[in-house]
Structure 1
Amino acid sequence: MPDDHFGEHVAERYDESVSEMFDSAEVDPAVRFLADLAGDGAALELGIGTGRIALPLNRTGVPVHGIDLSSAMVERLRAKPGADRIPVTIGDFAHTRVPGTFSLAYLVFNTIMNLTSQDEQVACFRTVADHLEPGGRFVVEVMVPELQRLPHGERFRPFTVSPSRLGFDEYDVAEQRLVSHHYHVVDGRLDVMSFPFRYVWPAELDLMARMAGMTPRERWSDWNRQPFTNDSTKHVSVWEKTTSV
């Protein structure tokens, strides 16, 4: 089982640390997109966390089941209104099975990169395929690796710079990995956290999907279905389960 990097220390202020991601401008388009794909079926969220997407999606009438490795994050979800309607299984979402089948499964906000090996990411696609009904959809929201923005020989790419916060990604191109470093001033004290990830390319995800019996259907640069281009910094991709493997 992979390491849990979202324990109590992270969970206790997770919502605050990514508060901008809870804005309606971020949440509402994602919920509309996912609800449309779920239709009359149920949805499975891998890495459900504190319920940023699952709770409003459930409020639209879509039954949601979650998987998450972090019991501390799930405790925060459980404290929120409506969480009693969302069953959550604690486990590694690359391998964990839950009862039933789903018309939709999804991973948002770079969560696929929490699986830090290609084998684990491939296993995740196969696990999703096992849970999907025929014709079911799998959605992944993930960053586009910013290698084209790195000068030759450079390994570091800042993503947050302010008087109270500093964040930068440290790339290891040979291993296709990065470590996301966060420095945050909290109550006058410096809080330092680092998270390992494995970045992944769109074409690589398409191949993983095909290996699991899924076919690419859509790729956009955001939840509002803006075109995916050379300048896109992330993508929202959709695959459809078409075969049994």
Structure 2
Amino acid sequence: MPPSPDYAVDLADHYDDWFTPPTATTDATVALLDRLASTAPEGPMLELGIGTGRIALPLAARGRELHGIDAAKAMVEQLRAKSGGGDIAVSIGDFSDVQHEGRFAVIYVVNGTFFELTSQEAQIHCLTRAAARLLPGGLFVLDAHLPEVLAVGAGAGSQPVQTASGDPVTRTRRIHPTTQRYTSDYKVVHNGDVRHIRVAFRYASPGELDLMAATAGLRLRERFGGWSGVPFTDSSNYHVSVYELPA
């Protein structure tokens, strides 16, 4: 993984405006992570790719002890500028190395960020390093698209993206099956200027994720059909997977 994606360096001051999911999505994510933390051993939580604190800050407001890792200092500066942002211990570096002091009850990564690790080796490395930082019985939580749904979306052309600022943003996804990767190209119109942002990902099926997690010493505890906590079924187009370090 590169030290920091270009968008995290160049667009940190606009990241919340252009790439923040709807408030309902954030609220559901925070609620589910808080509920999962209540079922884990007592201890702090660690967010990989903490960014501007969209999830960490409301979790901290609920009384959770939050820590984070991010490669982009510019993103962390945005976090620090927010109320409560100075109270979260953040390490600057590659989140896949999980280089942060202490052990944690819950380690999580949201918004598809785990898949910005664009090789199976890097993804297994992240899971293994996370397992080493978990308390016995601790949880590793991530969200993911289903490859089949990504393929359908890639065939639909450019799609509008809802933004907090109201600036027009469209996203085009392209699937690269030979490398098990996809790219998301964003076109943003801001103050009459057009900006292009490309983000690369490596996708994985739920079965491959389970196998990679098992290689790292983790086992699947439960899988939801989204952050709302609905069951994962054949009609789901997204999932939230919860892995556990056996006590």
TM-score under structure 1 length normalisation: 0.90
Name the CA shift for 1:7/1:111 in 2 (closer, same or farther; >3 Å): closer
> Which residue does the alignment assign to 1:33?
32
> Which residue does the alignment assign to 2:164?
none
Contact 1:22-1:52 within 8 A present in 2 as well: no
Q: Distance in 1 between matches of 2:231 and 2:88?
A: 33
Shift of residue 166 of structure 1? Answer: 2.1
Give 3-state SS (helix, strand or coil) of 1:239's partner: strand
> Which residue does the alignment assign to 2:50?
48
Shift of residue 212 of structure 1? Answer: 1.1
1:43-192 equivalences under 5 Å are 43-145=45-147, 146=149, 149=152, 156-158=155-157, 160-161=159-160, 164-192=168-196
Q: Which runs of 5+ in 1 are unaligned?
A: none
Q: Distance in 2 between matches of 1:158 and 1:219?
A: 30
Name the CA shift for 1:156/1:71 in 2 (closer, same or farther; >3 Å): farther
Q: Distance in 1 between matches of 2:17 and 2:168?
A: 14
Q: Is 1:9 equivalent to 2:10 in the alignment?
A: yes
Shift of residue 238 of structure 1? Answer: 0.3
Measured against aligned partners, the alpha-carbon deviations of 1:147-189 in whole angstroms (never above 9, x if no partner) come to: 5527xxxx65546238933211111001001111011111111
> Which residue does the alignment assign to 1:202?
206
Give 3-state SS (helix, strand or coil) of 2:95's partner: coil
Give 3-state SS (helix, strand or coil) of 2:94's partner: coil
Q: Tell me the matched-pair count.
A: 237
1:73 alignment partner AA: M
Contact 1:144-1:233 within 8 A present in 2 as well: yes
Contact 1:179-1:197 within 8 A present in 2 as well: yes
> Which residue does the alignment assign to 2:244?
240
Larger relative contact order (CA 8 Å, sep ≥ 6) = 2
Measured against aligned partners, the alpha-carbon deviations of 1:53-102 in whole angstroms (never above 9, x if no partner) come to: 00000111110110011111111001000011101001111113211111
1:204-219 equivalences under 5 Å are 204-219=208-223
Contact 1:157-1:170 within 8 A present in 2 as well: no
2:33 alignment partner AA: L
Measured against aligned partners, the alpha-carbon deviations of 1:19-65 in whole angstroms (never above 9, x if no partner) come to: 4x251x11222212112222342101001010000000011111011
Q: Distance in 2 between matches of 1:30 and 1:51?
A: 13
Q: Distance in 2 between matches of 1:131 and 1:70?
A: 22
Name the CA shift for 1:227/1:52 in 2 (closer, same or farther; >3 Å): same
Q: Distance in 2 between matches of 1:112 and 1:106?
A: 9
Q: Is 1:231 equivalent to 2:230 in the alignment?
A: no
1:175 alignment partner AA: T
TM-score under structure 2 length normalisation: 0.90
Q: Distance in 1 between matches of 2:99 and 2:168?
A: 41
Q: Distance in 1 between matches of 2:169 and 2:96?
A: 32
Percent of aligned pairs with the same residue?
41
2:235 alignment partner AA: D
Contact 2:151-2:175 within 8 A present in 1 as well: no
Q: Is 1:193 equivalent to 2:197 in the alignment?
A: yes
Q: Distance in 2 between matches of 1:22 and 1:72?
A: 23
Give 3-state SS (helix, strand or coil) of 1:80's partner: coil
Give 3-state SS (helix, strand or coil) of 1:13's partner: helix
